[in-house]
Amino acid sequence: MIKGLYEAHLPVKNLEVSIGFYRKLGLKLAWRDEDTVFFWIEEGKSWLGLWEGKEYQTPYHPSLRHIAFRVTYEDLKESVKWLESIQVEPVPFGKRTSIEPFVRPNQGNASIYFDDPDGNSLELMCYVEVPNELKHNTEKLSFEDWENLVSSKEASRKTF
CATH of the domain at 143: 3.30.720.110
pTM of the model: 0.91
Residue 150 and residue 124 share a domain: yes
Task: Give 112's contacts (C-beta < 8 A, 6+ positions apart).
Answer: 76, 79, 80, 83, 90, 99, 100, 101, 102, 123, 124
Residue 44 gets the label, from left (phi > 0), alpha (psi -120 to 50) or beta, of left
Residue 152's pLDDT band (cuts 50, 70, 90): confident
Q: What is the model's pLDDT at position 85? A: 97
Q: What is the pLDDT of residues 14-64, one digit of tens each?
A: 999 999 999 999 999 999 999 999 999 999 999 999 999 999 999 988 889
DSSP 3-state assignment of 146? helix
Q: What is the pLDDT of residues 71-113, one digit of tens each?
A: 999 999 999 999 999 999 999 998 899 999 999 999 999 999 9
Last residue of a domain, one of 40, 56, 72: 56
How many domains does the chain contain in total?
2
Domain containing 142 equals 64-160
| CA 5 and chain centroid, separation | 15
